[in-house]
Structure 1
Amino acid sequence: MARTDLPLFVTHDGVSSRSDVTCRYKCGDACAQPAPNTSRGEYFGDIVRTAFSRRGLLRGGAMTVLAIGAGGVLTACGDESGATAAANAADSGTAPDGTRFTAVQPNTDDAVRVPEGYEQEVVIRWGDPVLPDAPGFDIGGQTAAAQEKQFGFNNDFAALLPVEGVPHTYLLVVNHEYTTEPFMFADYDSEDPTEEQVRIGLAGHGLSVVQVRGKAGSGVLTPEFGRYNRRITGTTEFLVTGPAAGSALLRTSTDPTGTRVAGTLNNCSGGITPWGTVLSGEENFDQYFANAELVTDPVAAERLARYGVEGGATERKWERFERRFDLAVEPNEVNRFGWVVEIDPWDPESVPVKHTALGRFKHEAATIHVTGDGTVVAYSGDDERFDYMYKFVSSRRMQQGGSRTAMRHNMTLLDAGTLYVARLSADRTDSGDRTDNGEFAGTGEWIPLLRSNEDGSAESFVDGMSAEEVAVFTRLAGDRVGATKMDRPEDFEPNPITGKVYVALTNNTERGVDGAPPADPANPRVNNKNGQVLEIDDDHAGTSFTWNLLLVCGDPDEADTYFGGFDKSRVSPISCPDNLAFDPHGNLWISTDGNALGSNDGLFSVVLDGPRRGETKQFLTVPIGAETCGPVVQDGRVVVCVQHPGETDDASWASPASHWPDGGDAKPRPSVVAVWKSDGGRIGM
């Protein structure tokens, strides 16, 4: 296929399909507000501007072209020629292991659609019992006491952990990101919710730990009451560890020690640690806190604004019954959210932990890579327009083995080490703005922000900020050191086979619009509605990396999309990448949130290596109004969380847009779904 440079840095029509009601309850209308990063520090556009000056790239309003990639350039559809065409032709009948299925076509059905030859079944739904004494679900007669023992609302991240010594048995650990009260209660008044509705909402957040049993030759998973089953909610006690533990910035009237927090909120994606625990990211926590306008101290007000905390009443009005959500009463309570939390699912009596050494921002997730010498590296993205990418390198080494002694040690690994933020730049030769072989390559560095020491002390690397301030106000620290402003860095996943790291950059419709930061090589589109996936080759325990764009998402018929150099006429359209996972063969799997191409969200496989690198195929789609979350891809099954089915702006309790999963005239219920091959074979084989 002949190379054709693409017209990037252009404005696109259309926006994400996420409904207004979902935006209100999921993220507090974040995308309808100005981006909170107003810093004037160096960003990627400044770094590459000199390199592009010979062609006048980034001149206001001018359409320019740019070739981007590693191992290939962005290519539009054209006549095949040369080595690429030969490789595609030679390999046309042999999809890599794990990707041999017939792609599901885009659709707007009120159902989960899977490939021909596959089956599916709901594993667990909102309101299903988690604990043995949980009452049956009564959608018209809910109570907070019941919800505390039932599966929570709007499931996001999912993990399947094998139970040792018990065949086909797992712990299913699931985040519950947020609640959408208008679709939960028949009589909900958004201006005057009842106290019981507020308590139900708090109980609907958090996490569920549920034992599930599989079946030989099938991917079906059946919940059961095991000794590990547990609900963690918006009121469960958490222990604070790391450099901000005990800080005056975290102390409240109910917790003068600054070390114990009630609850976890807006838990989005997560990660499984090699020592058997689960990490969960507290994301859009800002929306739960009221009356920011009553905070008059200018420093405190600046800090609140940088995290998107606004004045007035909140959407849910929790502050009426829980005064800790009123900033006029408890100005530090907001600082106790926005952390990576760690759950030990093997001890239902254990106190979960909030790790402050990993920094405070809107964590989409935290995921772990372990180097050859046992050094633990945790990656995390800050899911906001123009915010940053981070990693934490532990100064401690992981202990092998499954003993409780090893577990206790390993659960301290994220409390001592160095926190970094990423700055990207573009390689070029002295004679031009591309490398010698015509490709656009990128490099980057990890800038240290904070060192948490073995003795519990901490050191700031940011001028004018103490160690505690860097931990609690990490975004401001990133601003000061000139971190690169990205297009909503969400899930951040190391490949367990190659060690390369992948970042889902979901979208950013403010990019290059009305004076906002312009497009740049890693964020290459103005008004970016479809997002992209970044591939990083990292010196995991070091401070340098190289990067390239694996995917520039969107309609493959459009010239501004790129699929790793693969023939775009042979890929599935993909928009708004969100969660990432890997199958046992090393293929990347992507779930989407807010498909801007007019079809339902879905789950996609992507080939990463060889002549079919970039081949993208849709494996499933979710129902009307839903988002695809938390994929788990095993040899014998795929598990996804179907979040907010039926959340459309023309729907209501009385007139739902979806009846999934129960059908008939049932109300929609967020649920976990398992998919497997009808013949009991391996996924994608």
Structure 2
Amino acid sequence: MSQPFDEGDDVGHNDSPNPHFQEVLSTRLSRRSIVLGGLGAAASTVAGLPAVAHAARQTGVIGGIDKLKFTPVAKSVADLVTVPPGYTARVLIALGDPLSPQVPPYRNDGTDNQHGHRSGDHHDGMDYFGLSDDRLRRDPLNSRRALLATNHEATTDNFLHVNGSTPRPRPAAESDKEIAVHGVSVVEIHRPRDGEFEYVKLSPYNRRITPMTAAFITGPARGSALMKTQYSPDGIGCRGTINNCGTSRTPWGTLLTGEENWSGYFTRSATDDTARGDKSVTSLIRYGKTAGSASRHGWETSGSDDKFRRFDISKTGTSTDGSDDYRNELNTFGYMVEIDPYNPTSAPRKRTGLGRFAHESGAFSHLVPGLPLAVYMGDDSRNEYIYKWVSAANWAAGDAERNDRLNVGAKYLDEGRLYVARFNADGTGEWVELSIGHPLIAGYAAYPFADQADVLVNARLAADAVGATKMDRPEWCATHPGTGEIYFTLTNNSNRKVDVTSSSQSQVDAANPRSYGDSYNGGPLGSPGNVNGHILRVREHGHKAHATSFKWDVYLFGAQADADPNKVNLSSLTGDQDFSSPDGLWFSAATGICWIQTDDGAYTDASNCMMLAALPGEVGDGSARTLSYTKADGSTLEVTTPVGKAPKPTQLKRFLVGAKDCELTGCCETPDGKALFVNIQHPGETILAADVADPNKYVSHWPGNAGYGAGGAMARPRSATIVITKDDGGKIGS
């Protein structure tokens, strides 16, 4: 029941000939015996875990929750946000809400301005930063007062303007609005003793970080020739952050926000390849910026002001290093960006050591004093890779309490090693270091790397060089608070094939084993691919963050409940559990629940996007499954993959269904687990400029139709953060 799934910016630009599992299998022993042997090893007892992790391994639960006790929410296509009986969802803050007393309430009719002082658009990843009752210091355990840091990934242009978006050349006033609604918000929230959470409009902590905010380049690429622009000829400074997707809260109390589909915001001329005449052309093409390709919004057409010119990255100057134009501007985007929410005057830091690609979230490893920490990351495009960063510094517990938080971030995030994952068919894998000293990188003919900064700025090319495993759009990742295992959502991949006929396609393999057709509204089967996505999990060797080998399995396969159980619904999902295109992923430290959010176009005839609660087991708790495919030449292709134990009805349930045309993304909670914050992104985003004047043509009117904000039942839809509480005051999910 799916339509052809449109992945937008996530189209993939990886034409590297990296080997897939089937190419490796011919050099191995019996595939089945190896996989089963690997699973047996994965299920063996692991010594040396902390007590809480040991308990989790024995019971499969954290925080005393051994089953999900709420009534599952039915699938729905209504223009509502639905939660289980006994729960209440309220809008906390939405697009345009003022963050300053000088800014008037949001009219929501396209006439609003001052968006640099309002909540941004397309709410995405977010994190909760506890604040002391006197509002003077960080208090990680405070469940009533906090700072909520929220990404604003993108914008639905047409709803932002009175009559929709004007064609190019774009009016400067429209571009100014669109630029300002991107970035990050930091907002103080508070729950009175006898009330509900509200955001504090007069808080001195309230802040917007936009694509125009001054920021710094840090790590190995700081000062590199690749970072020099007319704005920062020394390659140390840059402006802003854009297309921010997932987040992470660092152990020392800062926000890490990932820049995802940043490439689409820029353009370069049709003759730019010739003007450059150097290896930068290879880099640009690998990151999806071909000569003559249009930008998403056309901001560069809004006039000669520098703030617009920067979005045209054509070589126009005569310098040898790019310091007289914006040919290198693209290189200043694509990083994990660190922000201190407790210090409104601090400048964001772009941590180049963690690599440059389409970042989603970053998941920290369990912290062990005296050992390095790791940050796990995914590159969200078809056939891209999974990465991890290992700090050079060993973790010191006292650093969690320091007030110079960005300096602590520099200690752990500016010096270290970046690795990329290679998944083997036997349920094992290796982390391959991306270093200029690696012979496959140093000798890579497709792109001659100059130094380690070049390797990190062009991490995709370096990963190509070492033969990393192409994955089905790695999106969010999260660390199980008990077992320390790392979970990765692989949203979908229309280019995962049995018969590969072009360089943009990749063959099914053990870590990405499904390719199947699906239909939408009873229509014909679409082109085969991994339509519904899956969730993969990794256990480091010895549970050590700095390990260079791991074991893995597939925790869950997305599928509709009535799909073929031998080829598609491999996790035996029921109607209360089935889902498609997992995207957001987050673990509760209070309950151990794994929250799974969807960004789906394949099952939306049956249901709007949704959020599920799960109580996972651990790597190796299932068995091997073999999928058999018939190739075009009549031969048989078998793919065997380790699959986690199918979830029981009490271990996986649908918890929330969103409004029409929305994406569920972003999740965090109060430390006591009694309030859950969730983002509803771009409800009703499918709108033409010509239809903005007719509210009857809107796909969604949420949250106005739920009584929030201006416009009432026929309001323009708005992205928003909701807060969910249990009516009896208990922990969410219990």
The separation in 1 between residues aligned to 2:87 and 2:454, in whole angstroms, is: 51
Q: Is the 8 A contact 1:551 1:563 kept in 2?
A: no
Kindly report which structure 2 residues correspond to 1:564-583, keeping only aligned pairs within 5 A, or say none.
568-569=573-574, 571-583=576-588
Residue type of the alignment partner of 1:192: P
Q: Deviations over 1:226-245 (max 9, x none)?
A: 22111100100110001111
Q: 1:525 to 1:448 in 2, by over 3 A?
A: same
Question: Is 2:450 aligned against 1:444?
Answer: no
After the TM superposition, which residues 42-121 of structure 1 pair with which residues of structure 2 at under 5 Å, given as runs? 42-51=19-28, 96-97=65-66, 99-121=68-90
> How many angstroms does 1:160 deviate by?
1.3
Shift in alpha-carbon separation, 1:274–1:369, aligned structure 2, 3 A = same
CA distance in 1, matches of 2:372, 2:237: 28
Matches for 1:453-464 after TM superposition, within 5 Å: 462-464=441-443
Matched, 1:637 2:639: no
Structure 1 counterpart of 2:349: 353
Alignment partners' CA distance in 2, 1:370 and 1:491: 17
CA distance in 1, matches of 2:532, 2:29: 25
Match of 2:297 among 294, 316, 322: 316
Q: CA deviation at 1:556?
A: 2.5
| Aligned partner (choices 535, 543, 558) of residue 563 of structure 2 | 558
Secondary structure, counterpart of 1:47 in structure 2: helix
Identical aligned residues as a percent: 36
Deviation at 1:508, TM superposition (A): 0.1
- One-letter identity of the residue aligned with 1:671: A
Change (3 A) 1:105 1:650: farther
Q: Contact conserved, 1:220 with 1:675, CA < 8 A, in 2?
A: no
In the alignment, residue 592 of structure 2 is paired with which amino acid? G
d(CA) in 2 for partners of 1:522, 1:117? 39
Distance in 2, matches of 1:108 and 1:387, equals: 32
* 1:457-606 aligned within 5 A: 462-464=441-443, 465=449, 466-512=451-497, 514-515=501-502, 516-526=505-515, 527-538=529-540, 539-560=544-565, 568-569=573-574, 571-583=576-588, 584-597=590-603, 598=605, 599-606=607-614
The separation in 2 between residues aligned to 1:71 and 1:476, in whole angstroms, is 35
Question: Structure 1: how far apart are the matches of 2:246 and 2:506?
Answer: 27
1:333 maps to what in 2? 329
Counterpart for residue 206 of structure 1: 183
Structure 2 vs 1, CA of residues 246 and 162 (structure 1 numbering), >3 Å: closer, same or farther? same
Classify the secondary structure of the residue corresponding to 2:383: strand
Match in the other structure for 1:395: 392
- What TM-score, normalized to structure 1? 0.84
Q: How do residues 13-52 of structure 1 correspond to structure 2 at under 5 angstroms?
A: 14-16=3-5, 27=9, 30-31=10-11, 35-51=12-28
1:150-190 per-residue CA deviation (whole Å, 9 max, x = no partner) reads: 00011101111111245610111000001121222132223
User: Hey, what does 1:667 align to over in structure 2?
Assistant: 716
Give CA-to-partner distance per residue, 1:171-221, whole Å, 9 cap, x none.
110000011212221322233321011011111000000000124477644
- SS of the residue 2:191 aligns to: strand
Structure 1 gap ranges (5+): 1-11, 56-65, 74-90, 428-441, 452-457
Distance across 2 between alignment mates of 1:674 and 1:563? 34
- Counterpart among 217, 229, 239 of residue 262 in structure 1: 239
Compare 661-670 and 187-196 and name the one that shifted more: 187-196
Deviation at 1:595, TM superposition (A): 4.6
**683 and 612 in structure 1: CA distance in 2 versus 1, 3 angstrom threshold:** farther
Q: What 5-or-longer segments of structure 2 have no aligned partner?
A: 43-59, 135-141, 303-307, 317-325, 444-448, 516-528, 622-644, 706-712
Kept in 2: contact 1:97–1:585 (CA 8 A): no
Amino acid at match of 1:530: N
DSSP 3-state at the match of 1:276: coil
**What does 1:76-475 correspond to in 2, within 5 Å?**
96-97=65-66, 99-140=68-109, 142=111, 146-166=114-134, 168-187=144-163, 188-216=165-193, 220-291=197-268, 293-296=270-273, 297=277, 299-310=279-290, 311-321=292-302, 322-328=308-314, 329=316, 330-373=326-369, 374-399=371-396, 400=398, 401-405=400-404, 408-427=407-426, 442-450=427-435, 462-464=441-443, 465=449, 466-475=451-460
Cα distance in 2, alignment partners of residues 236 and 356 from structure 1: 18
Provide the TM-score with structure 2 as the length reference. 0.78
Shift, 1:592, TM fit: 0.4
Give the conservation status (yes or no) of the 8 Å contact 1:449–1:461: no
Question: 1:405 offset after TM fit, Å?
Answer: 4.3
TM-fit CA distance, 1:139: 3.2
Q: Give yes or no for the alignment of 1:608 onto 2:616.
A: yes
User: Is the Cα contact below 8 Å between 1:553 and 1:575 reproduced in 2?
Assistant: yes
Partner residue, 1:656: 698
Q: Relative to 1, partners in 2 of residues 1:218 and 1:101: Cα closer, same or farther, differing over 3 Å?
A: farther
Deviation at 1:47, TM superposition (A): 2.4
List structure 1 segments (4+ residues) > 6 angstroms apart after TM superposition: 52-55, 66-69, 458-461, 561-566
Aligned residues: 611
Q: How far 1:397 sits from its partner (Å)?
A: 2.9
3-state SS of 1:450 partner? coil
Aligned partners of 2:512 and 2:193: how far apart in 1? 45
Determine helix, strand or coil for the equivalent of 1:639. strand
Q: What is the distance in 1 between the residues matched to 2:115 and 2:573?
A: 47
Is contact 1:217-1:681 (8 Å) kept? Answer: no
Alignment correspondent of 1:436? none
Cα deviation code 1:33-92 (max 9, x no counterpart): xx310011323342235559889xxxxxxxxxx99995899xxxxxxxxxxxxxxxxx9x
- Amino acid of the structure 1 residue aligned with 2:287: Y
